[in-house]
Every structure is written in structure tokens, then in C-alpha cells.
């Protein structure tokens, strides 16, 4: 088997397109693996922190429509139409978004959990759990106790997570991710860096991700021929 292909993904837990992009990438990676067969390289994923609205309070008093109307200066009806459209696209990828129960919040503690989870080999699981909690279950992902509850559900030590988040143990790693994203010129998420050389911006179709992975693999095979 070839050396694994590394995927670095900048995203935010509060980004609806990031969850959609996650599913589309997973579908594309599966299609690539099926096409490549037994010789397919592993695809390893690392998530990097990006905050869409770092000034958001932990306990925002209002709905998602309220937040976006204020934050983007858009009429509420227009925001509702936009969210309905996004929810429809999410459904097409198998995701059940529920904007009516979504609790808008600051995501910096959730990002710290992703770095904590990475040190315990559970970052991908943590990312999925946080996104599902936020977009489909109406769970709070901004407060330490709530984030720790979600961490425990994927097998992490709840008390140690509380200790880590309370001490901002991984805040420097979050800021380092953000600085690297700025250095790359990333201005929106999701943003995928594939094998350190190809950048894919946005929640592209699964076929696009499959094609890029195939291109990387083909180039590697040619280089070693």
C-alpha cells in the first residue's frame, strides 16, 4: 500500500457548509478508495481551527435567524430562505439540520476540544460529534461542561477534558491553526489542503474530491515508476 494521503481541513463547528463538505469529502474518498482497489493509500485527516465569528458570545440570546440578521445585516425573511436552502442541501447529503433548535454560540472551546481529542487519537470522532450536536440535536457546544459531555460520549475522560478546557491548554494550538490559515490565504471554510499541495475551497461535490485524490495518487505512482 502507498504512503497515506494527508488531508488538512480548516473548518468551524458553526459552519453549515463545513458539515456538508465533510460528508461530500467522505463520499468522494470512499469512491476513490473503491476505484483504486487494494492498492489504495490510506487517507488521513487532520482538522484545523477557523472561527467564522469569534466575537460571538457563549450564550447568545436569540435564534440563528436573529444572529445572522444582525451579523450579516440581512432581513429575517431572507435569512430564513437561505437557511431553508442550506437545510435542503444538507438533507441531500444525509444530514438533518434543525436551525429552529440550534444554539448559536462561541466555538473556541469546541476547537480546543478538537486539539485535545487529536492528542488522544479521536479528533475525527470529536469533529463529527460536535457538528451533529450543533446542527441536528440542538446541543450547546460553547460551554465547558456541555463540550465535556460530548467528549465523554466518544470515550474521552470528561474530568480531564474539563481540566484542559478550563486551563485553555490548547488555545495556543487553535491560534496557531488560525495563523497558518491566514498565511495560506484562507478566507472561508471549509478549506481542504490535499497532500500539502492542492487546495480545494468550499463544499465541493464528492466527484471533485475523488478526482483530486486520484490525481495525487496518480502523480505519486508516476514519480515512483
pLDDT for 91 equals 98
In the chain, which stretches have pLDDT less than 50?
A: 1
pLDDT at 39: 86
User: How much is the pLDDT for 187?
Assistant: 94
Please report the pLDDT score of residue 23 as a whole number. Answer: 98
Q: What is the pTM of this model?
A: 0.96
Instruction: Quote the pLDDT of residue 49.
Output: 98
Cell numbers for 191, please give them: 478549506
pLDDT (0 to 100) of residue 2: 64
Range 5-223 has CATH code 1.25.40.10: no
- The 10s digit of each residue's pLDDT in 122-141 is 999 999 999 999 999 999 99
Q: Residues 171-187: pLDDT tens digits?
A: 999 999 999 999 999 99
Amino acid at each position: 500500500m502507498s504512503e497515506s494521503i494527508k488531508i488538512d481541513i480548516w473548518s468551524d463547528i458553526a459552519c453549515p457548509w463545513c458539515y456538508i463538505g465533510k460528508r461530500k469529502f467522505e463520499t468522494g474518498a470512499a469512491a476513490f478508495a473503491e476505484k483504486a482497489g487494494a492498492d489504495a493509500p490510506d487517507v488521513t485527516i487532520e482538522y484545523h481551527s477557523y472561527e467564522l465569528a469569534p466575537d460571538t458570545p457563549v450564550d447568545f440570546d436569540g435564534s440563528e435567524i436573529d444572529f445572522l440578521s444582525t451579523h450579516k445585516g440581512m432581513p429575517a425573511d431572507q435569512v430564513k430562505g437561505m437557511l431553508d436552502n442550506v437545510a435542503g442541501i444538507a438533507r441531500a447529503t444525509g444530514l438533518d439540520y434543525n436551525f429552529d433548535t440550534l444554539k448559536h454560540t462561541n466555538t473556541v472551546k469546541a476547537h480546543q476540544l478538537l486539539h485535545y481529542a487529536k492528542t488522544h487519537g479521536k479528533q475525527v470522532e470529536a469533529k463529527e460529534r460536535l457538528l451533529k450536536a450543533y446542527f441536528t440535536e440542538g446541543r450547546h457546544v460553547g460551554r465547558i461542561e456541555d463540550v465535556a459531555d460530548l467528549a465523554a460520549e466518544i470515550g474521552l475522560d470528561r474530568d480531564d477534558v474539563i481540566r484542559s478546557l478550563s486551563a485553555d491548554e490548547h488555545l495556543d494550538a487553535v491560534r496557531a491553526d488560525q495563523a497558518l490559515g491566514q498565511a495560506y490565504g484562507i478566507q472561508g471554510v471549509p478549506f481542504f489542503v490535499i497532500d500539502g499541495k492542492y487546495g480545494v475551497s468550499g463544499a465541493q461535490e464528492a466527484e471533485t474530491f475523488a478526482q483530486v485524490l486520484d490525481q495525487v495518487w496518480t502523480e505519486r505512482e508516476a514519480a515512483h515508476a
